Chain A
Amino acid sequence: KQEVTQIPAALSVPEGENLVLNCSFTDSAIYNLQWFRQDPGKGLTSLLLIQSSQREQTSGRLNASLDKSSGRSTLYIAASQPGDSATYLCAVPTRELGSTLGRLYFGRGTQLTVWP
């Protein structure tokens, strides 16, 4: 079974800092990896999806990288803002035969606080 780990569990930074969130997975034979954002008491919003053949994916101030061979992904947030405060989760789809590809394995997330 795929295990997804995220470090750090929590991060608190002043506004304007660039920061990196880490995600690792045990089975490197992934189809893709997604990064999600979750605001307190809310559902998840997909931020970036990196296909297994890609090394990087960018959206605005967010940049996600993927290194399949080492089982790692990073989410880089540039010039952080208080509005970036949320929990960030990474997830990979199952590779179990016959299972839906919408069956995702999530990490526990990194709770980010950006203070003014």
Chain B
Amino acid sequence: DTGVSQNPRHKITKRGQNVTFRCDPISEHNRLYWYRQTLGQGPEFLTYFQNEAQLEKSRLLSDRFSAERPKGSFSTLEIQRTEQGDSAMYLCASSTRDPYSLHFGNGTRLTVT
């Protein structure tokens, strides 16, 4: 169990640029979640995958955001035309069939200047 891995750890980008983050879940975990955490707030749910199927998206996931999990293993989260309000920590978590046993990665911190 090597844990959930997220890359990059930090990303600084200029407003209007596109960014992509990667999440590698624990190998036997078929469920994968993305959360966003802004400074001083708790994490907020963005989206959920079971294997390669994206089964749920929150209203926070605007049309500038897209997430994929093409082979049911790693996942990517892309933000197009970044805005300063997108600055946050993006957290990935994975679980087995027990949805309450979430294992979180260390996150990708995005700063939009």
Contacts and interface: CB of A to CB of B under 8 A. Distances in A.
Interface of A: 4, 32, 34, 41-46, 49, 89, 91, 93, 99-104, 106-109
Contacts of A107: 42
Contacts of A49: 100
Given A101-B99, A102-B31, A43 B45 contact: no
Interface in B32-70: 33, 40-45, 48, 50, 55-56, 58
A102 B104 CA distance: 12
A4 B4 contact: no
A43 B100 contact: no
B56 A103 contact: yes
Contact of A93 (B41, B44, B100): B100
Highest count of chain A CB atoms <10 Å: which of B33, B102, B107: B102
Contacts of A32: 100
B101 interface: yes
A46 B45 contact: no
Nearest to B89: A41
Given A100-B48, A100-B56, A102-B100, A43 B40 contact: no
Nearest to B44: A106
Contact of A106 (B43, B55, B99): B43
